[in-house]
Amino acid sequence: MLRRLRILAVLAVTTGILAGCGSEGRSDALGYRAGTAPETGGLGALEAIGLFVVVPATLLLTIAALVWLPGMVRGNRYRPSKGWSASPLWFGGPPDPAAAVETASAGELVRGGASGSW
């Protein structure tokens, strides 16, 4: 559910941006030819940096954040290679697990089951 919402959010943001880029009218219609706008000196250095560096970087960071944040918030994900430091938890175990384990011996019972490793 959360995953689907996140995918939708990323799609909506990127679609919006792309649609915005494509919606500029043809420059012919405004009475001047493509290229430098009349009566201006073209892009200034600051404008150029803003347009070609700051805007793309902001977009990149926004999209990256949308993708990475949920995983970072979730946090304590198990990674097989990182080992495990928590003390054992016994769900539905005996009332006093430590004492029960202390005195237990497997005995003669024939037990079944299965093993696996990963």
Q: Which residues bind other proteins (CB under 8 A)?
A: 75-80, 82-98, 100-107, 109-118
Q: Which is nearer to other proteins, 32 or 68 (CB)?
A: 68
**Min separation Cβ 63 and other proteins, Å:** 24
Q: Are 43 and 51 in contact (CB under 8 A)?
A: yes
Q: Are 67 and 8 in contact (CB under 8 A)?
A: no
Q: Which is nearer to other proteins, 23 or 76 (CB)?
A: 76
CA distance 10 to 2: 12
Q: Which is nearer to other proteins, 39 or 102 (CB)?
A: 102
**Min separation Cβ 6 and other proteins, Å:** 18
CA distance 14 to 23: 14
CA distance 47 to 70: 34
**Min separation Cβ 70 and other proteins, Å:** 14
